[in-house]
Chain A
């Protein structure tokens, strides 16, 4: 009886937690409960207050923050506790895993010393014992040769290794609660899958409860038992994970689910949430979501609804009951934009070739020496890339960091002679272009960059930003005056905004400005370099829909680079997968995503978490071991074999082929648009 009572008591109880930075609120009354051993997911967009909530629990906010409300750990109040007392709890009872594992370790101390320090703050261990324990911890989180790894500095680890070490340090003192703030956001998808696995293992070993803060619904769906959705500094809905995804009761949750592109379903427009996330500085009275809500009623604008409901499913919406009963799909509640049918309807083979790249390579020298530089090696950044884009189609270029995606793009945009291989843009070999020819051709290929803030000159009004490519192509004044308002309208902005400066726009709007700038000179091929990865989910959907619509209207071809396979699946007609500077698989999206032939593609696809808890739990995963090898070593044979699960299962005879011969990109069947560079592809 007594144990039951203790079991059911909350380990952590947050009540009416509020945080202000000066006059601006960041968290406005958050209630959370955490039981022993359970995983609570906190999901929300940037500025929703999810990270601030996590930091406030540990009292780690900067001095400019004022915290009110209550945080109780096993009944003991933490808010207002003196720093010395809090320090005894931090790292001991509650430990934290941060987002960016590079900056989260002190650069001048060895990994081992930092873990030993964590151990010795809370336990009376001598150095040798602490070091031994630190090695055990590194071993537990799957770091090879833990004894040696102890003496490495943080910068000598890859991102995934650092995050493993960070988890090892967090569980060093067997905490009751692990707080993980976007622990995999800075990582590649295959590494994310590894780290999430380590996090699950760490939780199993220590029996700790986990609070997982993330913007990624897929990660939350796969990890959490219960979920709290945050918007504008408050929890707007909380429920068990299955219940929340299947029967959302708050229109915001419903909208989020509809806005995420999914790997398991292609095509069709996404359901964007109109408007932008609420600015906490000047909230109007009433529900902060009212301005974006399709179900808004007059009463929503007067009072903010409390978090209420039954059976542990609470929502802060006056129409929650109605939603619970009706259970609409996101597209039934939110306005769905119509994407016009593609302008091009001729079969692919008959369409004009826009871009053709064969055997492209690019090598960078590794230099050493302070005064006299000498070449000590090479980085094979791009080493055999094949691309093929026809009129009116989107080619998705997929690859993890370091796979050579960006180098490939810059080689294309240089419009010069490649180191080796051939680039044909609209039938012209770029190697043979003179200056005038390159200048003229530049109007046909334009780029949209990842960071919409960094790629717009902050001192130019956006009208001038958009006019710039036209000026560069010596367009007449009248044409510019006519094109700028037209372009602004085309990307969904007001022509009257031409006088404003970039900082007066939100992230999504700025990316629309970048798109307008790229379209100004009517290019035939638009290169999109991670165009939505800096945007929030609800805003991203709107930009993706815009891109689809523009493609259909203008008959553009896209080269769409992304690390996000769900976005690629949603937007692309064809896809090309890169690994270590090489194209390993290409073909139509359906073929590659549904029947991947290359083992790397299979692993990549299986690493993407689905925003659907039952589907996420049911699917089989292929976990890739380790990190990609260094691109400074040129390997004979297949470059993927060090991490390949197919190679690992082969007998010595058949392995020989992988070790000796680099597999060429071979067609799956004559006439089929699907090729893979593997000696033993999946049928």
Chain B
């Protein structure tokens, strides 16, 4: 098992390198930091623009590979992600925003997975009953609702609740109440309450998507001979379903978890903007607008690490559920 996972880890490390280089090359050639400086008033001289660009390692007259080399060397040797277009440290922004986003992404996606698996399995067992049809309808409504619309609806709901009761029942801006007094308990409660709506807007999409696939894999398993064998041995229906059915039905899902994470990440960019969270997604949109190459690359690096890490976690999950792959 260790050997198998080590091998997979090696693949992911190589993939990460490729991904980061491609992201860098793409951002560096698609974005135009030069035009950002040239558009300043009063218009700086060409030599001054060049100087500023070179200082920030953004000069498009230097070959991309060479710029990447400088950037990568700083990253590997000093853990330095470079300077933003405003000549501040990318690391500072990164450090501030990464935990905001991770909190949202991790809780949102894990909740989506758990609810999706549970809902899909439950739906399959109750195939064609009212509850199955209701969940199916609910999922399709959610699937056809874009994340930003869902987030806006949730936010408007919270606003309506505030208008109706006269006080903020569920917070809908930011990730904490500024200047809140009290101990760690009060802060935790405050954080959770702030997390509620943004997390829901991500998790509901996951629930809808995963539950459809999980229902399909579970239905395959429900008709399988080995489930019947498990019952013929003397397990009750529910014991057989959980021990022999669900486990085999989750295995094909694990790869899906990993790669649909990217979709959740994209969705999170909207969620963060709508709920006023200063996270990676918001930063990404802002950085693209400002032609801020190094910040865009930093967000890409984050996304690549997160996606490949979840790919690796999916492998761990597969290996844990299906011992046959551990070779």
* B contacts, CB < 8 Å to A: 224-226, 228-237, 244, 247-248, 251, 321-324
Bound CA span A107–B226, Å = 8
Give the CA-CA distance A106 to B231 in the complex, in Å. Answer: 12
Residues of the B chain whose Cβ atoms lie less than 8 Å from the Cβ of A166? 229
Q: What is the bound-complex CA distance between A60 and B233, given in angstroms?
A: 11
Contact status B231-A105, CB under 8 Å:
no
Establish whether residues B234 and A106, one from each chain, have CB atoms under 8 Å apart when the complex forms: no
Binds B, one of A117-125, A231-239, A423-431: A117-125
11 A-B pairs with CB atoms under 8 Å apart are A60-B231, A90-B234, A92-B234, A98-B225, A98-B232, A106-B229, A107-B324, A108-B321, A108-B323, A118-B234, A121-B234
Contact of A96 among B232, B236, B322, B324 (CB under 8 A): B232
Q: Are B324 and A100 in contact (CB under 8 A)?
A: no
Q: Within the assembled complex, what's the spacing in Å between the Cα atoms of A83 and B239? A: 11
Contact residues in A for B236 (Cβ distance below 8 Å): 83-84, 87
| Contact A104 B231, beta carbon cutoff 8 Å | no
Find chain A residues with CB under 8 A from B225 CB: 98, 100, 103-104
Which A residues are CB-close (under 8 A) to B235? Answer: 87, 117, 121
Q: Is B251 in contact with A108, judged by CB distance below 8 angstroms?
A: yes
Residue of A nearest to B236 (CB): A87
Question: In the bound complex, what is the Cα–Cα distance between A169 and B323 (angstroms)?
Answer: 21
- Asked if B324 contacts A91 (CB within 8 A), the reply is no
CA distance A96 to B232 in the complex (A): 6
The docked-state distance in angstroms from the alpha carbon of A58 to that of B233 is 11
A88 proximal to B (CB < 8 A): yes
Q: Which 5 residue pairs of A and B lie closest in terms of their CB atoms, listed nearest first? A: A91-B234, A103-B225, A91-B233, A96-B232, A121-B234
Pick from B233, B235, B237, B248 the residue with the most CB of A within 10 Å: B233
In the assembly, what is the distance between CA of A157 and CA of B320, in Å? 22
A60 and B236 alpha carbons, distance in the complex (Å): 11
B321 adjacent to A60 (CB under 8 Å): no
The residue in chain B whose Cβ has the minimal distance to the Cβ of A173 is B234
Please give, as numbers and ranges, the residues of chain B lying within 8 Å of A58 by CB-CB distance.
232
Given contacts A83-B236, A88-B234, A92-B234, contact A105 B229 (CB under 8 A): yes
Distance A108 CA – B233 CA, assembled complex (angstroms): 17
How distant is A100 from chain B, measured CB to nearest CB, in Å? Answer: 6
Least CB distance, B123 to chain A, in whole angstroms:
15
What is the CA–CA distance of A88 and B239 in the complex, to the nearest angstrom?
13
Q: How far is the CB of B18 from chain A (nearest CB, A)?
A: 13
Q: Which chain A positions have C-beta within 8 A of B226?
A: 103-107
How far is B321's CA from A435's CA once the two chains are assembled, in angstroms?
51
The 8 Å CB contact of A60, one of B228, B247, B322, B324, is B228
**Cα A653 to Cα B322 with chains together (Å):** 50
| A555 to B247 Cα, complex, angstroms | 58
Contact A108 B247 (CB under 8 A): yes
Neighbouring A residues of B322 by C-beta, 8 Å: 107-108
Interface presence of A356 (CB below 8 A): no
Which residues of chain A are near B244, meaning CB under 8 Å? Answer: 106, 109
A643 close to B (CB within 8 Å): no
Cβ contact within 8 Å between A90 and B251? no
Q: Is the interface of B mostly helix, strand, loop or mixed?
A: helix
Is A153 an interface residue when CB atoms closer than 8 A count as contact? yes
Query: Shortest Cβ distance from A159 into chain B, in angstroms?
Result: 14
- A155 in contact (CB, < 8 A): yes
Distance from B151 Cβ to chain A, minimum over Cβ atoms (Å): 39
Q: Which residues of A contact B231 (CB under 8 A)?
A: 60, 87, 90
**Measured between alpha carbons, how far is A98 from B227 in the docked complex, in Å?**
12
Q: Across the two chains, which residue of chain A brings its CB closest to B234? A: A91
Give every chain B residue within 8 A of A90 (Cβ-Cβ): 231-234
CA–CA, A60 to B225, complex, Å?
Answer: 11
Chain B residue numbers with a CB within 8 Å of A92 are: 234
Report the tally of A-B residue pairs with Cβ distances under 8 A: 71
Contact of A169 among B228, B233, B248 (CB under 8 A): B233
Closest beta carbon of chain A to B133's beta carbon, Å: 16
Asked if residues A108 and B324 are in contact (CB atoms below 8 Å), the reply is yes
* Chain A residues within CB distance 8 Å of chain B: 58, 60, 83-84, 87-92, 95-96, 98, 100, 103-110, 117-118, 121-122, 153, 155, 166, 169, 173
Inter-chain CA distance A103–B227, complex, in Å, is 9
Write the chain B residue with the least CB distance to A96.
B232
Q: A107-B248, A108-B324, A153-B324 are in contact. Are A98 and B229 (CB under 8 A)?
A: yes
Q: How far is the CA of A109 from the CA of B247 in the complex (A)?
A: 10
CB contacts (< 8 Å) of A169 on chain B: these are 233
Q: Select which of A103, A109, A110, A121 is within 8 A of B224 by beta carbon.
A: A103
Beta-carbon contact of A60 and B323 below 8 Å = no
Q: Do B237 and A91 have beta carbons less than 8 Å apart?
A: no
For A110, what are the chain B residues with a Cβ–Cβ distance below 8 Å?
323
Say whether B248 contacts A91, CB under 8 Å. Answer: no
Chain B residues near A89 (CB, 8 Å)? 234
Distance, CA A242 to CA B247, complexed state (A): 48
- Contact partner of A117 among B232, B233, B247, CB < 8 A? B233
A153 touches B234 (CB 8 A): no
Q: With A and B bound together, what is the CA distance between A36 and B90 in angstroms?
A: 82
Write out the residue numbers on chain A whose beta carbons fall within 8 Å of the beta carbon of B228: 60, 98, 104
Q: Measured between C-beta atoms, what is the minimum distance from A587 to chain B in Å? A: 41
A87 contact set on B, CB distance < 8 A: 231, 234-236
Q: Which residue of A lies closest to B232 (CB)?
A: A96
Measured in the bound complex, the distance between the Cα atoms of B226 and A166 in whole Å is 11
CB proximity of A677 to chain B, nearest CB, Å? 38
Contacts of B234 in A (CB 8 A): 87-92, 118, 121-122, 173
Q: Which residue of A lies closest to B321 (CB)?
A: A108
CA distance A122 to B235 in the complex (A): 9
Closest to B129 in A: A63
B324 close to A106 (CB less than 8 A): no
CB-CB under 8 A from B237, the residues of chain A are 83
Q: Which residues from chain B contact A109 at a C-beta distance below 8 Å?
A: 244
Q: How far is the CA of A282 from the CA of B83 in the complex (A)?
A: 80
CB-CB under 8 A from B233, the residues of chain A are 90-91, 95, 117-118, 121, 169
Q: Which of B224, B231, B232, B237 has the most CB of A within 10 A?
A: B232
Nearest-Cβ distance from residue A22 to partner chain B, whole angstroms: 12
User: A563 to nearest B CB, angstroms?
Assistant: 22
B252 CB to nearest chain A CB (Å): 12
Residues of B close to A105: CB separation below 8 A: 226, 229
CA distance in complex: A88, B234 (Å): 6
Q: How far is the CA of A91 from the CA of B228 in the complex (A)?
A: 12
Contact B324 A95 (CB under 8 A): no
Inter-chain contacts of A88 with B (CB < 8 A): 234
Taken together as a complex, chains A and B put the C-alpha atoms of A138 and B94 apart, in Å, by: 60
Centre residue among A121, A122, A166, A173 by max chain B CB count within 10 A: A121
Give the distance in Å from the alpha carbon of A21 to the alpha carbon of B170 in the complex.
51
Complex Cα gap A91–B251 (Å): 28
Q: Which residue of A lies closest to B223 (CB)?
A: A62
User: Which residues of chain B are within 8 angstroms of A118 by Cβ–Cβ distance?
Assistant: 233-234
Nearest-neighbour CB distance to chain A for B228, whole angstroms, equals 6
Assuming the A-B contacts A106-B244, A153-B324, are A60 and B251 also in contact, with contact meaning beta carbons closer than 8 angstroms in the complex?
Answer: no
A90-B232 Cα distance, complex, nearest whole Å: 5
In the complex, residue of chain B having the shortest beta-carbon distance to the beta carbon of A179: B232
Closest CB of chain A to B265's CB: distance in Å?
Answer: 26
Give Cα A118 to B231, complex, Å: 10
Chain B min CB distance to A61 (Å): 10
Considering the complex, give the chain A residue whose CB is closest to the CB of B231.
A60
* Most chain A beta-carbon contacts within 10 A, residue among B226, B247, B321, B322: B226
Residues of B within 8 A of A122 (CB): 234
